[in-house]
């Protein structure tokens, strides 16, 4: 019997073994960690059933303060309709604090904190600013007047946000109809589904001034993106770059050629100062204009395809990510799925952030093959990328919109999934499995018979809270021999309710077979814990326009019609199960052996390693170091 050792030191890479890594991250000893995932941090719902209010998809975000002092930390998010939301770093409290009305088109999505710590937000014509003051006296519950330290920037009527408490659970929106000196009068309490309550003297109060600065004309084509550079804020203004320094607005600090619209800003360090990479699009083409930030003209124009977003020297387009040096662009990363696909250009990068040795992106596309709409972590050193699904549920059509990186943690602000919930990166994921897929081709195109798989698994004591054992996770190995089409899609059958946790009823869009891998991929809200939990089929019973599937293991809950959409997407893949090993108590991690049933023959195979963390209260990350494939050579 022959043996080949395969290292698990590559993420998604054209030259590596792996072509799909879900909830996987690079490990210390050239392996990969399983168990990295996204946790649902916050979901805003109303207790008033008549309101039915969910947090809208967040398109941009801004942080006032620093995580070095949590009390001073305030995170604002800008929703797709232009509303501004205040949210806590941890916990479920989110407050809709402002409805911005001076906008049309895409322009309302921008928000930032300027170099002086002031919150700014953009519209199609106006630039908004959040003026702050404090309560000069306690605001009692149900009080109809409000005493402020300085109300000079507050109009005679409007809305204000009162912020109190580290967890933000005492935030309240008030409305007033008149003002005398520093006293707001005619105050109505508990607006926007907030709670009327008592607030102490010294509590921060925000007023959002929608028309703080006027650009002079409506512009619905620019997304009004804003980023800070040195002591000023750069603002997209159609074919112009506007700058704000203190209270001084220069609406046309830089003028681009006719037809271009600014979409984002990158930055190129050059010694003691930096260059600004002004990213703009014109029809079907894009360009980077290199600018020193002070001259009225740019120095260099670099032509390229349409640009979606930028961060630092990294420029994202529909075709991939480029690294700009101020003269030329070099391809840094392209989604491997897009290399040989006619649909490759459909991969839209919504947000990009550079962090240490990694670049993080949110990519959006509609794909039934597997979940491609989600978050990728790209290693700048190797070019490998690691895919993190949206919430670990592998939903194929969940649209994430922006990435937030705090001083200490990664935070991903969600889009359409889970009613606009917010997710954050964690080493303590949900029980939904991590998956590592790779293609195995024997040397010299030999035909082989698979016999056995052995895994070498370890743990990292720098991350694991329980390095000496006390583990509770499962490892499942599956294989595919290319004798059938790899992918089929179906849906949960309408009008049916499963009676057991080990049963699924699907429509007749495809024909499942015994041994196939089946997985729910489209879920509605966080109650759908069955999504992203693959199982294998042990029996198929045909019905009228449907199939009843018996599974090899129970799902976390029954797939009832009340909790799951009956048209929810299901993927069926002929990955047969080689076996499952439960790691708990005394077990030798370095030699997990799986005998391959049926001993399939072929010239190439796909293997899947799935890791399920059963006890999510503990922080540990199983490390896949390498695997050994045992086989007989047939020719």
pLDDT in tens, 75-109: 888 887 888 888 766 556 677 888 876 655 566 77
pTM assigned to the model? 0.89
For 62, the token pair is 């801004």
Tokens (6 digits) for 187: 């105050």
Residue 58 pLDDT grade (very low, low, confident, very high; cuts 50, 70, 90): confident
Look at residue 415 in the predicted model and tell me its pLDDT: 66
Question: Would you call 49 exposed, middle or buried from its count of C-beta atoms within 10 A (0-12, 13-18, 19+)?
Answer: exposed
Contact 325, 332 (CB under 8 A): no
- Bridge partners of 309, per DSSP, are 316
Please indicate whether residue 441 or residue 307 has the higher confidence score (pLDDT). 307
* Residue 338 φ then ψ, to 5°: -90, -10
How far is the C-alpha of 242 from the C-alpha of 68, rounded, in Å?
Answer: 32
- pLDDT score for 363: 79
Query: What are 520-529's pLDDT values in tens digits?
Result: 876 554 567 7
Confidence band, pLDDT 50/70/90 cuts, at residue 392:
very low
Which band of pLDDT confidence, cut at 50, 70 and 90, is reported for residue 71?
low
pLDDT for res 51: 43
Please count the CA atoms within 13 angstroms of the CA of 362 that sit on its side-chain side: 21
| SS3 state of residue 1 | coil
Tracing tokens 């990350």 back to the chain, one arrives at 621
Residue 578 pairs with which residues in a beta bridge?
none
475: part of which helix (H) or strand (E)? Answer: strand 473-480
């Amino acid at each position: 019997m022959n043996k080949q050792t395969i290292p698990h030191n590559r993420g998604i890479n054209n030259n590596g073994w792996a072509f799909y890594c879900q909830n996987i991250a690079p490990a210390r000893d050239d392996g990969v960690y399983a168990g990295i995932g996204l946790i649902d941090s916050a979901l805003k719902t109303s207790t008033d059933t008549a309101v039915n209010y969910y947090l809208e998809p967040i398109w941009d975000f801004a942080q006032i303060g620093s995580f070095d002092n949590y009390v001073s930390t305030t995170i604002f998010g800008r929703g797709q309709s232009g509303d501004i939301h205040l949210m806590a770093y941890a916990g479920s409290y989110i407050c809709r604090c402002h409805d911005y009305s001076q906008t049309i088109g895409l322009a309302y999505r921008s928000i930032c904190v300027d170099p002086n710590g002031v919150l700014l937000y953009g519209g199609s014509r106006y630039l908004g600013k959040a003026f702050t003051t404090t309560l000069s006296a306690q605001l009692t519950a149900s009080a109809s007047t409000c005493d402020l330290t300085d109300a000079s920037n507050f109009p005679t009527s409007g809305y204000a946000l009162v912020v109190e408490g580290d967890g933000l659970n005492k935030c309240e929106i008030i409305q007033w109809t008149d003002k005398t000196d520093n006293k707001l009068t005619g105050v109505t309490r508990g607006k926007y589904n907030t709670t009327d309550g008592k607030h102490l003297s010294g509590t921060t109060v925000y007023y959002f001034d929608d028309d703080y600065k006027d650009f002079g004309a409506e512009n619905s084509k620019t997304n009004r993106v804003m980023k800070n550079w040195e002591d000023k804020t750069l603002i997209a203004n159609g074919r112009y770059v506007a700058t704000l320094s203190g209270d001084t607005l220069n609406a046309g600090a830089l003028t681009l050629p006719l037809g271009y619209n600014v979409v984002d800003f990158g930055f190129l360090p050059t010694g003691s100062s930096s260059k600004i990479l002004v990213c703009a699009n014109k029809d079907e083409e894009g360009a980077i204009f290199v600018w020193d930030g002070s001259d009225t003209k740019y120095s260099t124009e670099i032509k390229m395809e349409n640009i979606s977003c930028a961060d630092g020297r990294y420029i994202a387009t529909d075709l991939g990510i480029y690294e700009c040096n101020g003269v030329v662009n070099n391809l840094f990363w392209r989604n491997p799925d897009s290399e040989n696909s006619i649909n490759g250009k459909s991969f839209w990068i919504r947000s990009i952030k550079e962090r240490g040795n990694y670049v993080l992106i949110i990519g959006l596309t509609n794909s039934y093959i597997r979940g491609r709409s989600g978050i990728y972590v790209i290693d700048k050193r190797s070019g490998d990328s690691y895919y993190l699904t949206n919430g670990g549920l592998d939903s194929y059509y969940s649209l994430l919109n922006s990435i937030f990186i705090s001083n200490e943690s990664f935070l991903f602000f969600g889009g359409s999934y889970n009613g606009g919930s917010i997710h954050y990166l964690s080493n303590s994921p949900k029980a939904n499995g991590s998956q590592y897929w790779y293609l195995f081709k024997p040397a010299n195109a030999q035909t082989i018979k698979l016999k056995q798989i052995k895994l070498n698994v370890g743990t990292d004591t720098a991350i694991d809270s329980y390095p000496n054992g006390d583990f509770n996770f499962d490892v499942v190995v599956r294989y595919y021999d290319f004798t059938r089409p790899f992918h089929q899609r179906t849906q949960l059958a309408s009008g049916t309710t499963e009676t057991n946790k080990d049963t699924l009823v699907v429509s007749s869009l495809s024909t499942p077979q015994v041994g196939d891998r089946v997985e729910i991929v489209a879920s509605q809200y966080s109650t759908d814990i069955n999504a992203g939990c693959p199982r294998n089929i042990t029996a198929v019973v045909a019905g009228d326009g449907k199939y009843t599937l018996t599974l090899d293991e129970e799902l976390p809950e029954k797939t009832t019609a009340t909790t799951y959409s009956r048209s929810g997407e299901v993927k069926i893949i002929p990955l047969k199960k080689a076996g499952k090993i439960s790691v708990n108590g005394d077990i030798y991690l370095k030699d997990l052996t799986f005998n391959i049933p049926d001993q399939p023959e072929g010239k190439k195979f796909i293997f899947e390693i799935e890791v399920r963390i059963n006890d999510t209260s503990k922080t540990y990350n199983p490390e896949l170091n390498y695997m050994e494939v045992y086989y007989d050579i047939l020719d």
